[in-house]
Amino acid sequence: MYTGILEKMQTKFDEPIEYSLLLNQQKIDLNLLIGANLKLTYLNEIRCLGCGKKTAKSFSQGYCYNCFVSLPETDECILKPELCRAHEGISRDMKWSESHCLQEHFVYLAISSGLKVGVTRSSQIPTRWIDQGASKAIKLAKTPNRYTAGIIEVELKKNFSDKTSWQKMLKNEIDPEDLLIAKEKAANLLPEDLKKFVIADNTLWEFEYPVLEFPDKVQAQSFDNQTEISGTLLGIKGQYLMFDKGRVVNIRKHSGYKIKLEIG
């Protein structure tokens, strides 16, 4: 039995992806639990990942309201990079932005369900793709900061989606897109002033997940409306634990929730 505050699952790029969970400083190798019966019990407590205080409600995947409206990691540019103003010296915390926003970023194309465009900091490759449950990914452009990557993404969203269908991703319903062809198309769609950021690196990243069986239908489980989530763990993909009968739980969504994990 393990008890602790949930945070996103840690991952390691391998075949398949290696997943682990840290509860009260105890590292749990989740790949070894595939096929086992698990019970996760919510202990009716949420701790803010920012300040550590108890909070009645979680905002932005694990923060109290005060931290949500004040911390740089919950600023609007996290979801909309084109709104970042760190390059202009404007930030909730410039020191944080120097190590996160004013760093090399990549615009990428990935397939989690269908083809999508996205932005990530260079240090988050390939973690970002794994967290999205991507089956394949390719780098498209390299920029000196988050803002410029966001501008490229906005331009490409006129022709490409920036969303993932989590249901299709978990059912492993993957569109057979050719990422090399998609990259060439995306590059040609950019205006001249943005084409200079396109890179020649055509390395195709492919990901295999530890899954015994993909469900035909999925049913999201949440501690917001139930205390216990249990069943046979059939797989892990993205930040989801996948149980029998199509039941799935997004671990990252429940960051800050105190739980008890029982095995067997």
Phi, psi of 159 (to 5 degrees): -130, -15
Q: What does the pLDDT read at residue 196? A: 98
Angle at which helix 146-156 crosses helix 179-189, to 10 degrees, equals: 100
Q: What does the pLDDT read at residue 246? A: 97
What percentage of residues in the chain have a pLDDT greater than 70? Answer: 100
Burial of 125 (0-12, 13-18, 19+ CB in 10 A): middle
Q: What does the pLDDT read at residue 14? A: 97
Rounded mean pLDDT, 198-214: 98
Identify residue 66 by its one-letter amino acid code: N
Rounded mean pLDDT, 231-250: 98
Q: What does the pLDDT read at residue 195? A: 98
pTM exceeding 0.85:
yes
104 versus 264: the higher-pLDDT residue is: 104
pLDDT digits (tens, 9 = 90+) for 96-113: 999 999 999 999 999 999
Rounded mean pLDDT, 3-25: 97
Burial of 219 (0-12, 13-18, 19+ CB in 10 A): exposed
d(C-alpha 48, C-alpha 168), whole Å: 31
Q: What does the pLDDT read at residue 264? A: 86
Domain boundaries, given as residue ranges, for the chain: 2-56+211-263, 75-206
Which among 239, 253, 260 is positioned nearest to 63, based on CA atoms? 253
Three-state SS for 177? coil
Kindly report the CA angle at 68 between 112 and 21, in degrees rounded to 5?
50
In 49-193 the beta strands, taken as DSSP E runs, fall at: 105-111, 115-121, 136-143
pLDDT digits (tens, 9 = 90+) for 141-197: 999 999 999 999 999 999 999 999 999 999 999 999 999 999 999 999 999 999 999
Judge whether residue 131 has pLDDT over 90.
yes
Beta strands 115-121 and 26-29 are: unpaired
